[in-house]
Amino acid sequence: MRTNQDPEERFLFLTLTENKGELQLEGTGGYSSGRSAAPDFSGKFLKKTKQYQFTFEDSFGNEGLATLKSVKDDILFSATITTIKDSRCVPLYHSILLKRKKE
């Protein structure tokens, strides 16, 4: 995703797994040039309403709440940071429409 303020592409990869009935969220984000912070993060499932909610912490100590919601054949990911330890990561956590990987 590119914005007018930032000509670089940001990326976000998510993996959602289920183990013994518990959902686990894992991911990584960064910039196409490799500059700045590139956090890895993981989270635990909280609840399912109309969307899946997870608490998460990234490799820079930032914490937040993430949601995943189905939108047609894709997934809308959004994150709210509740504890900022490294502000370089904050631009990577925003709402983004993710394409499902077909296997």
Distance separating alpha carbons of residues 102 and 31, to the nearest angstrom:
24
For the chain, domain boundaries: 11-98
Averaged pLDDT score across all residues of the chain: 82
**What's this model's pTM, rounded to 2 decimal places?**
0.72
* Residue 102: predicted pLDDT: 65
Distance separating alpha carbons of residues 14 and 45, to the nearest angstrom:
14
- pLDDT above 50 for 4: no
